[in-house]
Amino acid sequence: MKKLLALLAVFTLAFVIVGCSDKDSSKGAEDTNKEENKSELTDQVKAKMYNAVRLAENKVDTVYAHDTAEDGETPILNATFADEAAAETFLAKYYSEDIAKQISEHYATGEKTDKDQIIVKADPFFANSITGTTLDDVTIEGDANKGTVKTKEGVTYTVELKDGQYVITGIEQ
């Protein structure tokens, strides 16, 4: 009886070892496939890049084209931002620091209203807005880590994945 129990224990142990080693080796193959597919430019990645560009442009509009002075005509910096530096820091979440600075410099006038509100330029930074387009209206190339979004109007946005979020690092108008 002892031999039978010992034999049963050996077979059980052998099956457990074989079963565990097969799971580990197949898991490694799955992980390799996942790593290869992470950089692939899928429809989902294209949609994320496109939406990142649209969202970033909407944020510029929120900061600079949202509020007006009491006269109803003079554009001013959105009241939620204490100064232009705060607005630039906010935009740096959606654009590289260089692009955020270019946008901030474009709208800067150095002037204030009687109520100490910062006056900004009325001319939009984006001559051809992407907000009026659809995903089908643009061409997206690259991979999941870095790509370009090109509009029919000839505007090219370079988009990069940084800290799990797509950030615009270049704009050619």
Per-residue pLDDT tens over the stretch 102-135: 999 999 999 999 999 999 999 999 999 999 999 9
Q: What pTM was computed for the model?
A: 0.77
pLDDT, residue 24, reads: 46
Closest CA to 123 of 110, 135, 140, 106: 106
pLDDT, residue 14, reads: 66
Q: Say how far apart CA 166 and CA 144 lie, in whole Å.
A: 10
**pLDDT by residue (tens digit) across 12-53?**
766 667 676 654 445 555 554 454 457 899 999 999 999 999
